[in-house]
Amino acid sequence: MKLKRFISLLLAAVMTVCILPTSAFAATKSTAKAKEPTLRRPVSPEQPMWIVHIDTWNYADPAKIIDLIPEDILPYVVFNISMSINYDHDTHTWGMVNDGYELAKSWLRTCAEKNVWALIQPASGGQCHFPDYYEPNTDLENTLFGEFFRDYPNFLGFNYCEQFWGFDQKDFPTTYKQRYQHFANLLKLTHKYGGYLVVSWCGNQWGQALNPIAMLKQVPEFEKACLDYTENYILCEKHTQVGYLQDVESQVLGAYLSGYAGQAGLRYDSTGWTDENGDHDKNYTLATGIAPHIERLMQCGFTVIDGPELIWNDDFNENWKKTDSQGYTYRSWKMTDQFQNISIDIFRKLIDGTIRIPSREEVIERTKVVIIQDNKYASDDGKYCSPVTLFEGLYRMDDDGNLRDNHNFFKKTGRYPTIPTVYNLADDAAKSFEYQVNYTKYASRWGRVEKKVAEFNKIFEKEYAGNMYVRSSENAWTVYNPFKSGKAATARVNFRYNTADYFEMSLSRYSGGVVTEYSDSLKFYLNNYDNKLSKSTDLKTDLIKIYGCTEEPKVTYKDRGVSQAKSKVTTLWKDGVLTVKVQHNGPVDITVTNAKGKNTDRLTKYKKSGITAPARPPIYAGPYQYEAEHFDIKNCNKYVENGCRTGVDNFQGQGYLIFGKKSGASVRDTVTALKSGEYTFTLRYAAAKADISGLALYVNGQKVKTLSLKKTGSTSKWGTVSAKIKLNKGENKIELKADSTLADELYIDNFVIS
């Protein structure tokens, strides 16, 4: 274990203080209630959450994925134990995750050992590894849902993904209404323990009766739970489907601003992407996610980033197996360059204050307009979605369509904020929207797109000129190129805080970032990291021009990424205009000092980011579990990374190890002890045909004893054998070695230290 992390364990044992919620919602809603339970890990603009996936799709080793996350990011991360859905209705078998409860428990124990927060994702769509309890007012305390909260102080709750498909199916008969009745019960439980229910939504033409507004309209138990336990509900916009994209954003933001969800988030997914020709899954690169992530954080007040979704494409890859100097073969993982240069780098911009998440009240004040979905007699689109033409003529791209034909989440202008569509307005903050428009009055108020645009232009001042997305947030500007075709985007922006006159920008495809103004200096954060559409050495050009400085400013820059081609930044000072040419493929900081002019009427007050690292979880003192498919091995038969449909059943993790019977075969793993002392080692194994002797247990290089393993009768019947061992405080090496040829082929599932 790294020294810093070991120290954090000791500190967490002493300082396990949780902070009461500071969100705007808590301040307005809690006055009518009894004292709220303390949140285990608060989520707010000051303490955002990044949900990083430990995913069964790439047969992950949780401990090694956790160890990849940099120390400065780790306090903000909540690890998502993602149990992927792969089910065969004909054979009634899972192709991924044989036993969801056992895998979740095992991986959660690893997260607890590593002293990191964790969620469990049991479902994608209606198909789920856990049962649904949908009878009204069911107490989940004595179910597995309550067990995880009771037994694991690092456990934060449940993440239900893509709740728009797979309901009312053979083997999964739960209806979508029953799922949301289950959510009502689950929200009550999460409230009791200070945890969260995270739900992600993405829409298509068959699923609008399941969307967030539909659920509030159709399931009264869920509506009540959202009002009673708002702070425990996190709703995420998900980019999986290629239609309804801006309606999904509108509804997710609307649930948060209207007081029916405590926080809002974005779960980015490549499968919702279409290129400039409308082709699905072509010309995708994670750089396409730069714009929506920065915009949702800075402009919409989203406090949660979930993902990216497609793990093997954008997050983590397993390396080729390697062998060390002692002859042990081991598995390892690495972060992708795009994960480091985009996802991690954007989050670092949250940490350093470049990106400030506004409060709920701030977003409501700046948004001004809200649509209340009061329609009762229409199609599902009419009853549950935004008005068909709501985004047309405003920020919807001109060549895009409406609702199901809305395939582009980029916005043609930042003049207008995201317009939320809501079920109702739940509290005083929500009721402070300046313009409240009922869906049923939309046509009479804005019968023509031109009429709507004219009114919006009176409400929202024009802040810039050009075809780039630009939107202010006090002294900072969100900027990005909204074109998929490779066309450059340009803008001219008058300064609000800096005393020079204005700046112009030209951004290349998928380039985006933040411009920050101070009275006599400017900072530009630009990112365009592309790992697919061009060579990593190909540099794309962004241009910045600053007008009205009284003398030549000074320009410095710094490349921020890993495996990033060195950027080229050149400057020209001529006729009072500073031109900065930025050639880059990746994140870069550009600082312009001595950038000042003669304007004295500039704004001076702005809010600074108050971001603080959340407390680490309380120390977990329960059993630690180590899965054999993650062991280091020598002379063994093979890893079985995914044990589903292999003829072996009842294993507890994702797979198992065929140890074999060779003399000299051995396995190794590292375990952590909070203090020195005696522990119990329990091995879970299968030996189908014969008793096994000759398997020796070693701790820190010293032989403890030779284990006697009784025949189990089948490779799907697992036995256990235990031994007392002494561990040192901190890290310890556990080895199992065949001192002689074994009497039968040995299968190992895991061992537990308690």
Q: How far apart are CA 451 and CA 408, in angstroms?
A: 24
Alpha-carbon dihedral sign for residues 628, 631, 633, 639? positive
CB-based burial label for 209 (10 Å; 0-12, 13-18, 19+) = middle
Global pTM?
Answer: 0.94
pLDDT, residue 186, reads: 98
pLDDT digits 0-9 by tens, 289-307: 999 999 999 999 999 999 9
Over residues 566-570, mean pLDDT: 98
Q: How far apart are CA 172 and CA 204, in angstroms?
A: 21
Q: What is the dihedral of CA 265, 270, 273, 274, to 10 degrees?
A: 170
Q: What is the dihedral of CA 452, 455, 457, 460, to 10 degrees?
A: -110
pLDDT digits 0-9 by tens, 688-727: 999 999 999 999 999 999 999 999 999 999 999 999 999 9
128: Cβ contacts below 8 Å, ≥ 6 apart: 85, 122, 160, 172, 174
Q: How far apart are CA 569 and CA 592, in angstroms?
A: 12
pLDDT, residue 24, reads: 31
Task: Identify how many contiguous H helices and E strands the chain contains and give both numbers.
Answer: 17, 41
Distance between start and end Cα atoms, the chain? 19
Q: How confident is the model at residue 268 (pLDDT cuts 50, 70, 90)?
A: very high
Does domain 464-593 fall into CATH 3.40.718.10?
Answer: no
Q: How far apart are CA 465 and CA 477, in angstroms?
A: 14
pLDDT, residue 303, reads: 98
pLDDT digits 0-9 by tens, 415-433: 999 999 999 999 999 999 9
pLDDT digits 0-9 by tens, 369-416: 999 999 999 999 999 999 999 999 999 999 999 999 999 999 999 999
Contact 700, 641 (CB under 8 A): no
* Closest C-alpha to 415, from 358, 461, 475, 473: 461
Q: Starting from the edge strand earliest in sequence, which strands make up the sheet with 469-473, in order?
A: 469-473, 476-480, 512-518, 521-527, 588-593, 554-559
214: Cβ contacts below 8 Å, ≥ 6 apart: 208, 380, 383, 384
* Number of Cβ atoms within 10 Å of the Cβ of 535: 10
Over residues 503-510, mean pLDDT: 98
* Number of Cβ atoms within 10 Å of the Cβ of 438: 13
Q: How far apart are CA 683 and CA 696, in angstroms?
A: 12
Q: Quick one: three-class SS letters along 91-159?
A: CCEECCCCCHHHHHHHHHHHHHHCCCEEEEEEEECCEECCCCCCCCCCCCCCCHHHHHHHHCCCEEEEE
Q: What is the mean pLDDT of the chain?
A: 94
CATH topology for the 3-366 domain: TIM Barrel (3.20.20)
- Domain locations in the chain as residue ranges: 3-366, 370-459, 464-593, 624-753
Q: Which CATH number applies to 624-753? A: 2.60.120.260
Q: How confident is the model at residue 535 (pLDDT cuts 50, 70, 90)?
A: confident
Q: How far apart are CA 1 and CA 480, in angstroms?
A: 41
Tokens of 666: 């051995």
